[in-house]
Chain A
Amino acid sequence: MALPSMPYPALPFAPPASQPLSEAEAACAAALASLPGMTPVRLTKILGGGSPVEAWTALRAGEHIADPDHRFCGAARRSCPDRVLSACREHGIAVLVHGRAGYPTALLGDPGAPAVLFALGDPSVTQGRDGVAVVGTRSATPYGCQVASELGRDLAGAGIVVISGLARGIDGAAHAGAVRAAPGAAPAAVVGTGLDVVYPTENRALWDALGTTGVIFSESPLGTGPRPRVFPARNRIIAGLARVVVVVESHRSGGALTTAEAAARRGITVCAVPGSVRSPASRGTNGLLVDGCVPVRDVDDVLVAVALAGRGRDMPAPLPRSGSLVAARGPVSRRRRTAGGRAVPETARERAASVVSAADAKVSAADAKVSAAVDAKVLAAVDDVPTSIETVLTRTGLRLPDVACACERLVDSGVLRSGDGWWART
């Protein structure tokens, strides 16, 4: 995919003196956003940066200039703003209006910013901190999920707001990692459904965690189900909120690439995590790298990208970058420093050697020698991408009981993951 060069220059903007939103304005804004048939573009036109109450009154009266054919007039007359607002309040959902207090400042200069945002949790967690979007495919490999989760954890630990879509696969893994980072920045999510519709349902626990410690944004009114068109639309908000977008895994076409494209249009740095050239789940990300995106090996690469992206931008109250970099290196303890000062992760093979030495202590010396050799043989036959047991059998030529035994040992020592007929290195 060829990424467009920046048609939108990074606009320096002066945050307007944000006026607080009155109860009546919030109610009218929520009611406008909840009208059937309302789209982000129409809503922006109707609201036009003015007062939601005025827009609502004009719409009801059939006098709104942006609604010449009275498309929303009837629906607006049947709707009751107070009831819409009280439904939001019942779920603990705040209503944010573009340009008014509480609205995420990162979105203020965005050409596609939603006029009205619903927020579950504390919307202020995105203010005054850098955001990094960690996105990717829903059908991710264990490798992708693990990388996303580690990135989420390390970024949050470095004081970065991890932004993602709370979907299956990479998105959920990134959020789960961010939530786990013990002292860390609270994560933010942008979802496609209404904030009272948990989708996918298996992420309910994550959803609740983000609703309490972080924030979940949605431009869809309450009750909006997982309709296909809402997800690409929310990707532009993810891109808009972030300073850097990291695509962890993506198929040749997929939602994560629309996020990357939206980010590129806005001049936001897009990074990609390289994957195996054999893995279909990495085809999109490897394509991004060919197109010139920044490769990401670990959290440091992302932090450097964030630091570079911050230059020349006039963001309010940025965190000290150097501080965040130092903080990032803190929790990442299993790294060694080489002469050049770069952090180099231990290889799986090195870890395998330590496993074998751990096993040595348990069994008698002769047995240990044999099983260590078997373990090494089995480990060598397993790729970084999931490998089938049959392949391991063919490559090693060992008997199944021996291979099974080695597998159990390697799993116990955390070098190998197995489960459903596939083995992969961790």
Chain B
Amino acid sequence: MLATIPSAVLIGVDGRQVSVEVHVSNGLPGFTVVGLPDAAVRESRDRVRAALLSSGLPWPLRRVTVNLAPSGVRKGGAGVDLPIAIGLLVASGTIDPAAATGLAFCGELGLDGALRAVPGAVVIVEALRGHTVVVPLANVNEAYLAGADRVRAAATLRQVVDALQGRRPWPTPDPTASAPPEDDAAQGPWPPRRGDLSDVRGQRLARRALEAAATGGHHVLLVGPPGSGKTMLASRLPDLLPPLDHDDAFEVSRIHSVAGLPLPPGGLVRRPPFRAPHHGASPVSMIGGGTSLMRPGEISLAHGGVLFLDEMGEFPVPVLDALRQPLEDGQVRVVRARGTVTFPARMLLVAAMNPCPCGEGGAPGACRCTPAARQRYARRISAPLLDRFDLAIRVDRPAVEALVGEGTEESTMTVAGRVAANRLRARTRGVRVNAELPGAALGELVPVTGQAEALLERRLRDGSLNARGLHRVRRVARTLADIDGVGEVVGEGHVAEALLLRCRRDILLGADR
């Protein structure tokens, strides 16, 4: 007898529908899986057998062939355990084929017959359009994101079989866990997760740069000696970002689901993610890829949120240079011999590094690194990568007065409120954030006063600003003017400030150069 059960496997952050064909025939008892299975799929035979027996279901002592169609696509993961088991039961006559019509299955089986969660349930349910999908109960929240009306959940194989045989209804998931994502109360601004911005004493320049980065989506580079608070500042950035809107949240949830990251209750990731990979990261772990399963890299896990590269100077140069294209395109195409996968990767990049190998490159003349060593260190950050940063500032150890005085700094909540309002303003200009303002429209969207125009012209004439830099400065000036709420025309002060905050190579080379 033959049974065909629809299921789906993950390819990158997309689901690919596969048909699990199970054929049970007379012959020498055996179990074969064909159709480019990986090790996890091939091992499913043993899991399925144990699960069937533990659930009190018969294991056919006949020749069983399982084919995963289309056979040209490599299948990975344990998500096809459940469809294989159901296929077996249908093919061996335990379940009526009519009962399984219109249903698709995914889930990993435990030896005791329990259904275990699989990564990427959102994507799998999404790929199985037109089917009612049976998923493990642990995945039900994320599965609901893709369509609550066509999801059935069960905790064990026995429950699935009982429901299919009509003996019991489908179990209803816990109502608290299955709250519809739209009613998600978490609309922000939330209490900060990683310490409040008011904990940062002094550092007015850095706070200003952080707010500009959060508001305008400008990548920011913090350069300073150890202990100056770079990491502290960077970790406060994600809490300044407004909650993700529904489309973004769904996309982020998909990526996190595929990567197997824990999702918040309700399933929808509303808070912008924060990823801070260690500098030992490999290119594949940053960009995405891998052997059988194309896993999203850190830049995709930070999609919609913040990617923090602490000690950027210590990252391998190939890793840093691999970031250039995703930073430009907002997505990354991972190409392997087996196929090509596109991961979304639109994040806010915050990088921190020391000014020189000894780290002390504080006041000019204080650092005893040789100029050659310093140049070598600075060269690790290629000019095209440095070019992606709209903001770059030096962070120094706060002055004593700032540390001992009364802290009157603004809190994360205050700044986050302003950021959210200003981001809405950017929307009226037709972009998500000011960093995306098209160069052609800058003249119209960022009108500047005569004095500011004259200042820019002076800087262009003395060669300290080029055409590309001019665009960046105008975008940043727009953001700064938005923050201060001065209206549409940008004044000289904000242009000068944007000039001050812009990224220049000599920020890495120190004042001596």
Interfacial residues, chain A to chain B (CB-CB below 8 A): 138-142, 144, 168-169, 200, 249, 251, 279-282, 363, 385-386, 388-391, 393-394, 399-402, 404-405, 407-408, 412, 418-422, 424
Contacts and interface: CB of A to CB of B under 8 A. Distances in A.
Interface stretch (B123-131, B243-251, B415-423, B499-507): B499-507
Contact of A404 (B371, B500, B504, B507): B500
A144 B511 CA distance: 12
A90 B493 CA distance: 58
Contact of B364 (A386, A391, A404): A386
Contact of A141 (B365, B402, B496, B507): B365
B396 interface: yes
A389 B223 CA distance: 13
Contact of A139 (B367, B458, B493, B499): B367
B510 A420 contact: yes
B512 A389 contact: no
Contact of B203 (A390, A407, A408): A390
A401 B484 contact: yes
Contact of B458 (A140, A412, A418, A424): A412
Contact of B363 (A169, A385, A402): A385
Interface of B: 202-206, 208, 223, 363-372, 393-394, 396, 398-399, 401-402, 451, 455, 458, 480, 484, 491-494, 496-497, 499-500, 504, 506-507, 509-513
Contacts of B393: 389, 421
A412 B461 CA distance: 12
B512 A142 contact: yes
Contacts of B223: 421
A208 to B, nearest CB: 20
16 contacts: A279-B365, A363-B451, A385-B363, A388-B396, A389-B205, A393-B204, A400-B497, A401-B484, A401-B491, A412-B458, A418-B500, A419-B506, A420-B504, A421-B223, A422-B364, A424-B511
A389 B500 contact: yes
A141 B512 contact: yes
Nearest to B203: A390
A420 B504 CA distance: 7
Contacts, number: 116
Q: Which among A142, A388, A390, A402 has the greatest number of chain B C-beta atoms within 10 A?
A: A390
Contact of B493 (A280, A390, A394, A405): A405
B204 A400 contact: yes
B205 A393 contact: yes
A251 B364 contact: no
Given A139-B512, A420-B511, A401 B493 contact: yes
Most chain A beta-carbon contacts within 10 A, residue among B401, B480, B492: B492
Contacts of A420: 394, 504, 506-507, 509-511, 513
Contact of B511 (A142, A393, A399): A142
Contact of A405 (B363, B496, B510, B513): B496
Closest 8 A-B residue pairs measured CB to CB? A401-B493, A421-B394, A281-B365, A404-B496, A404-B497, A420-B506, A141-B365, A405-B496
The interface centre, meaning the residue of A138, A139, A168 with most chain B CB atoms within 10 A of its CB, is A139
B396 A386 contact: no
A404 B499 contact: yes
Given A401-B497, A422-B394, A386 B205 contact: no
A408 B496 contact: yes
A78 to B, nearest CB: 34
Contacts of A419: 504, 506, 511
Nearest to B374: A139
A126 to B, nearest CB: 29
Which of A200, A394, A424 has the most chain B CB atoms closer than 10 A to its own CB? A394
B512 A390 contact: no
Contacts of A279: 363, 365
Contacts of B493: 399, 401-402, 404-405
A245 to B, nearest CB: 21
B511 A389 contact: no
Contacts of A169: 371, 512
B365 A139 contact: yes
Contacts of A139: 365, 367-371, 512
Given A394-B204, A401-B497, A422-B364, 13 more contacts: A139-B365, A139-B370, A142-B364, A168-B371, A249-B365, A251-B368, A385-B363, A390-B203, A390-B205, A404-B493, A405-B496, A408-B455, A420-B504
Contacts of B202: 390, 394
A388 B272 CA distance: 33
A290 B366 CA distance: 21
Contacts of B494: 401
B511 A401 contact: no
A310 to B, nearest CB: 34
Contacts of A281: 364-366
Contacts of B509: 420
A279 B366 CA distance: 7
Nearest to A252: B368
Chain A CB count within 10 A is highest, among B365, B491, B513, for B365
Contact of A421 (B369, B499, B507): B507
Nearest to A401: B493
Nearest to A421: B394
A419 B392 CA distance: 12
Nearest to A394: B399
A139 B373 CA distance: 12
A228 B266 CA distance: 66
Contacts of A421: 223, 393-394, 507, 511
A287 to B, nearest CB: 15
Contact of B204 (A200, A282, A390, A404): A390
A389 B367 CA distance: 19
Contacts of B507: 420-421
B232 to A, nearest CB: 15
A391 B395 CA distance: 11
A377 to B, nearest CB: 15
Contacts of B499: 404, 408
B496 A401 contact: yes
A41 to B, nearest CB: 28
A380 B372 CA distance: 35
Nearest to B452: A405
Contacts of A407: 496, 500
A138 B204 contact: no
Contact of A280 (B366, B369, B484): B366
B498 to A, nearest CB: 8
Contacts of A399: 493
> Which of A168, A251, A418, A421: most chain B Cβ within 10 A?
A421
A394 B402 contact: yes
Contacts of B480: 401
A419 B206 CA distance: 17
A282 B480 CA distance: 39
Contacts of B396: 388, 390-391
A141 B513 CA distance: 9
A142 B365 CA distance: 9
Which of A138, A168, A393, A401 has the most chain B CB within a 10 Å cutoff? A401
A280 B500 contact: no
A391 B363 CA distance: 12
Contacts of A424: 511
A400 B205 contact: yes
Nearest to B459: A408
A408 B511 CA distance: 18
Contacts of B506: 419-420
B511 A394 contact: no
Contacts of A363: 451
A405 B491 CA distance: 10
A275 B513 CA distance: 19
A44 to B, nearest CB: 32
B377 to A, nearest CB: 14
Nearest to B462: A412
A164 B367 CA distance: 23
Contacts of A142: 364, 511-512
A280 B365 contact: yes
Contacts of B491: 401
